[in-house]
Structure 1
Amino acid sequence: MNEAAILLTLAGVHFVALMSPGPDFALVVQNATKYGRQTGLYIALGLSFGILTQSLLSITGISYLVHDHPLLFAILQFAGGSYLLYLGYGALKAIITKLVRRDTNQQTSTKSSVVLNNKRQAFSKGFATNILNPKALVFFVSLMSTLVPASMPASGKALAVLILWSLSLFWFAFLAWTLSTERLQKRLTTMGTYIDTLCGIIFTAIGIYILHESLLPIFH
């Protein structure tokens, strides 16, 4: 397989993975629909830089060493699972608070002004969600080790990383932009509680699963 075919295959596999529902996808949907375009775009930027970091660590072999070292990988799993569980807890707690207070409009307005004025927080949230996801580490280790041969020149590897980053930024920014259009925002406003609940369940379920995986060796 020549270099062009390798890069096209890499791009195709990665783009399909990007569109699959998961923590990254759920984070963009939750924040773009709830807080608007600016927050959604900074979440997308943070996620793309998380993927850039994952790609660099994988192509240089650092991620492989972490994946191949049980203790380091277990620590990453525990940290990632805990963070996703924290996101899930926060989302579900906010829903319960809304239902108890019956003051959704006022609460949403207050939260939006806080998040929209803090671009760094939105970027950091996106970056942390991706970089702390051990499933992402496993995916990129598998992707790079399977599709990118060690004999590929440095220019080809650099182009591979650039493709993964640019596709990630394009997809998540497109998703954030689409979900925050005026017409769609009007429709999604009435579904805000359901979207937050679904995203909270996704974060919680994946977080619990990853924590279970990290603690499993201790009990065996």
Structure 2
Amino acid sequence: MGLSLQQFAMVAGAHLLALLSPGPDFFLIARSALLRGWRKTGAVCFGIACANGVFIALALGGVAALHRHGTAFALVQAAGCVYLFYLGGLMLRHARAASIGTHGQDRTSAPTASAWLARFATGFASAILNPKNALFYASLFALLAARDAPFGAQIVYGAWMFVAVFGWDLLVAMSIGHPAVVARFTRHSASIERVTGAVLLAIAASVLAMLARQWL
């Protein structure tokens, strides 16, 4: 397969630096972990990882849809914007303070399939909407191809990055969702909801403005 440890260290290091840079995904994970605990936030983390997996698969295949000015990429971003507008509006409209009892019940109650899917969709939409994700993977795998990295080795790198995204996001959720941290922020749950909603609306608006400048 021609897997080079030096090359793997380069790829893993670049990917780690990208993970350490906070973005909308981090904000969503923090909000979910504070309000619902890290276990339920796992669905958000998995959605983010799957969106990264889509970009990794496209980069491995050398698909032109990853191009920033490509029609397919623009359509995916537009769809993500619509979803984030809907989600952000929902949070702003229904933000409310949670009592300790209500908060604890939300954290320990059995998850339903619809709730899991909703959290998964939130994470997936956030990550698939971020053009930095697409451009990072496209650039990284283009560099690997230029260095004649075997396709089998690139698959290993891609699998590693998927696992690393999911593992890192879960670690963040576990740190923020610690009971001591959650207890401190419970009384501010309504503010957390409002701020998150406003951030999602701002992200969606900025991406739509970028798309408008590109296509109009």
Shared fold (TM-score greater than 0.5)?
yes
Which amino acid is 2:33 matched to?
Answer: A
Q: TM-score, normalised by structure 1?
A: 0.81
- Contact 1:83–1:129 (CA<8 Å) still a contact in 2? no
The aligned runs of 1:60-209 (5 Å cut-off) are: 60-62=61-63, 64-67=64-67, 70-95=70-95, 98=96, 104-105=98-99, 116-117=111-112, 118-149=115-146, 151-209=148-206
Give the equivalent residue in structure 1 for 2:8.
7
Matched, 1:210 2:207: yes
- 8 Å CA contact retained: 1:81, 1:133: no
User: 1:129 corresponds to which letter in structure 2?
Assistant: S
2: CA distance, partners of 1:134 / 1:186: 35
After superposition, give the CA deviation of every residue in 1:63-97 in whole Å (9 maximum; x if it has no partner): x34416533232223222222333322222233xx
TM-score (ref. length: structure 2): 0.82
Residues 215 and 109 (structure 1), Cα distance of their counterparts in 2 relative to 1, 3 Å cut: farther
How many angstroms does 1:110 deviate by?
8.0
Aligned-pair RMSD on alpha carbons?
2.7
What are the within-5 Å matches in structure 2 for residues 19-98 of structure 1?
A: 19-62=20-63, 64-67=64-67, 70-95=70-95, 98=96
**What amino acid is aligned across from residue 72 of structure 1 in structure 2?**
A
Per-residue deviation, 1:177 = 1.3
Displacement after TM superposition at 1:44 (Å): 1.1
Percent identity, aligned pairs only, is: 25
Contact 2:66–2:138 (8 Å) recurs in 1: no
Count of residues paired in the alignment: 211
Q: Note closer, same or farther for the CA distance 1:89–1:112 as it changes in structure 2 (3 Å cut).
A: farther
SS of equivalent to 1:89 = helix
